[in-house]
Structure 1
Amino acid sequence: MKRNGPLLTLLAGLALAAVLITVNLTVTARGGDDPDPAGFGAAPATSAPAESAPPAASPSAEASPAAVPAAKVNATWAGTVDGGGATIAISVTDGVAVAYLCDGKKAEVWLQGTAAAGKLSLTGKNGATLVGTFGGGKATGTVTAGGRKWTFTVKAVAKPSGLYRATATVRNAKVVGGWIVLPDGSQVGVVTVDDVPQPAPAINPATGAVTVDGAALTAEPVTGALTKN
Structure 2
Amino acid sequence: MKRPGPLLTLLAGLVLGLFMLTLNATSGTKTASSSYSEASPSASPKAPAKTSPTPSVTPSPTPSPSKPPVANANYAGRTDDDAASVAVSVRNGKAVAYFCDGRYKEAWLRGRVNNNGSMKLTAPNGAVLDGRIQQGKKITGTVKDEGRPYTFTADKAVKPSGLWRATAKVRGAKIDGGWIVLPNGRQTGIVTRDGKATSAPRIDPETGAVTVDGQQLTAQPVTP
Shared fold, TM over 0.5 = yes
Are the equivalent residues in 2 in contact too, given 1:203–1:209 (CA < 8 A)? yes
Q: How does 1:59-74 map to 2 (within 5 A)?
A: 70-74=68-72
1:208 partner letter: G
What does the per-residue CA deviation read over 1:5-61, in whole Å, with 9 as the maximum and x for residues that have no partner? xxxxxxxxxxxxxxxxxxxxxxxxxxxxxxxxxxxxxxxxxxxxx88713553999x
Other structure's SS at 2:183 match? coil
Q: Distance in 1 between matches of 2:59 and 2:83?
A: 64
Match of 2:100 in 1: 102
More moved, 67-76 vs 80-89: 67-76
2:113 counterpart SS class: strand
Q: Give aligned-pair identity as a percent.
A: 51
User: Secondary structure of 1:126's match?
Assistant: coil
Q: Would the aligned equivalents of 1:73 and 1:115 in 2 still touch at CA under 8 Å?
A: no
Larger Rg: 2
Instruction: Give 5+ residue unaligned stretches, structure 1.
Output: 1-49, 225-229
Find the aligned partners of 2:118 and 2:71 in 1 and give their Cα distance: 11
> What's the Cα RMSD here?
2.5
Aligned ranges for residues 199-210 of structure 1 at < 5 Å? 199-210=199-210
Partner of 1:221: 221
Q: Residues of 2 paired with 1:59 and 1:103: CA distance?
A: 58
Paired residues for 1:13-24 under 5 Å: none
- 1:72 Cα deviation after fit: 5.0
When the two structures are superposed, what TM-score results if normalisation uses the length of structure 1? 0.68
Counterpart of 1:118 in structure 2 is 117
The 1:132/1:65 distance shift into structure 2, 3 A limit, reads: closer
User: 1:153-205 CA deviation, whole Å, 9 max, x = no partner?
Assistant: 22111111000011111122110000011111121111111111111111111
In 2, Cα distance between the equivalents of 1:161 and 1:58?
A: 55
Give the structure-2-normalised TM-score: 0.70
Q: Which residue of 76, 80, 94 corresponds with 2:74?
A: 76
Change (3 A) 1:217 1:68: same
Match of 2:16 in 1: none
Asked if 1:152 corresponds to 2:152, the answer is yes
In structure 2, C-alpha distance between the alignment counterparts of 1:89 and 1:59, rounded to whole Å? 48
Q: Distance in 2 between matches of 1:120 and 1:76?
A: 14
2:192 aligned with 1:192: yes
CA spacing shift, 1:217–1:102, aligned 2, 3 Å: same
Alignment partner, residue 227 of structure 1: none
CA distance 1:188–1:58, change in 2 (3 Å): closer
Alignment of 1:159-170 (within 5 A): 159-170=159-170
CA contact (8 A) 2:128 2:143 kept: yes
Letter in 2 for 1:102: C
Give me the whole-angstrom Cα distance separating, in 2, the residues matched to 1:58 and 1:83: 58
1:41 is aligned to none
Regions of 4+ moved over 4 Å: 64-69
